[in-house]
C-alpha cells in the first residue's frame, strides 16, 4: 500500500506562496525591458522623438495589456493565498505550470509589440493567455475540491469563477478571430476591461451582491 502524499502547511505553504509572488514580480519587471529609450538628435528633436515613440506604440500597448493581465492574475492568486490552509504535491505542480506561463509572457508580449500585425504573434500571445487563465482556474478548483482552502460562500464561488472564466473566453475567441483580422482580435481584448468595469458598476449600483472577502468568518460552510 502506497503511503499517502504528505500535505504541507505552515512553512511549506508560505514558501510556495513567497516563490509565486517572486515569479509574478519578475515577470512584471521583465515587461519593461521590452521598452527601448529612443535616441534622437539634430533639429526638430521633439518631432523626431514623437515619431520614435509612435514606432514603439505596439510595444507600449503590449506592455500595458500584459501588465494589466499579470496584475489581475496576481490579485486572483493573492485571493487564493488568503484562504489557502495547506498545499500538496499536485497543487505545487499546477502552480509551477501556471508560473511557467507567467514568466514566459514577456516573450510573446515583445513579439506582439514588434509583429502585432501578424497572425502568429497574436495567436501565440492569446494562446499563452488562455493557458495562464486556464491554469489559474484549475488551481482554484483543485484547492477548493480537495479542501486545501477555507470554505467560500456561493456568491464568492460565483464571483471567482467569473474572474477566471472571462479571460479564458476572451482570449480563446480572439485566436480564430486573428486569422481573419489581427486588429479585430487585439481589439477584442478590451472586453477584459469592459467586463471588469461592468461588474464593478453593477456592484456599486446594487445590482450584484458585494463579495464579503474581507471577513473570512462570514463565509458559509461547504462549497
Pairing relationship of beta strands 8-9 and 86-87 according to DSSP bridges = antiparallel
Q: Could you say which DSSP state residue 149 is in?
A: B
Which grid cell sits at 145? 475540491
Looking at residue 19, its pLDDT comes to 93
User: How far is the CA of 60 from the CAs of 53, 167, 213, 222, in angstroms?
Assistant: 9, 21, 34, 45
Rounded Cα–Cα distance for residues 169 and 191 (Å): 10
Could you read off the pLDDT of 28-80 as tens digits, one per residue?
988 887 767 666 667 777 776 677 666 667 777 778 888 888 888 898 899 88
pLDDT band at 222 (very low <50, low <70, confident <90, very high): very low
| Model pTM above 0.75 | yes
Answer positive or negative: Cα dihedral of 72, 74, 77, 79. Answer: negative
Task: Of 32-36, 54-58, 142-146, 205-209, give the lowest mean pLDDT range.
Answer: 205-209
Amino acid at each position: 500500500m502506497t503511503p499517502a502524499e504528505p500535505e504541507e502547511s505552515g512553512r511549506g505553504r508560505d514558501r510556495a506562496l513567497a516563490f509565486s509572488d517572486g515569479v509574478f514580480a519578475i515577470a512584471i519587471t521583465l515587461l519593461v525591458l521590452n521598452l527601448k529609450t529612443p535616441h534622437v538628435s539634430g533639429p526638430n528633436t521633439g518631432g523626431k522623438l514623437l515619431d520614435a515613440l509612435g514606432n514603439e506604440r505596439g510595444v507600449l500597448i503590449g506592455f500595458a495589456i500584459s501588465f494589466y493581465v499579470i496584475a489581475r492574475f496576481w490579485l486572483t492568486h493573492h485571493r487564493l493565498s488568503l484562504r489557502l490552509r495547506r498545499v500538496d504535491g499536485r497543487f505545487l505542480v499546477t502552480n509551477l505550470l501556471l508560473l511557467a506561463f507567467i514568466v514566459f509572457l514577456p516573450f510573446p508580449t515583445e513579439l506582439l509589440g514588434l509583429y502585432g500585425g501578424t497572425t502568429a504573434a497574436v495567436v501565440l500571445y492569446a494562446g499563452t493567455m488562455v493557458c495562464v487563465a486556464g491554469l489559474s482556474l484549475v488551481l482554484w478548483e483543485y484547492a477548493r475540491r480537495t479542501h486545501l482552502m477555507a470554505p467560500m460562500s456561493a456568491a464568492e464561488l460565483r464571483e471567482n469563477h467569473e474572474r477566471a472564466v472571462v479571460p479564458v473566453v476572451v482570449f480563446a475567441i480572439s485566436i480564430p478571430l486573428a486569422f481573419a483580422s489581427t486588429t479585430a482580435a487585439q481589439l477584442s481584448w478590451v472586453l477584459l476591461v469592459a467586463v471588469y468595469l461592468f461588474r464593478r458598476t453593477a456592484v456599486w449600483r446594487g445590482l450584484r451582491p458585494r463579495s464579503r472577502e474581507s471577513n473570512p468568518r462570514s463565509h458559509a460552510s461547504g462549497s
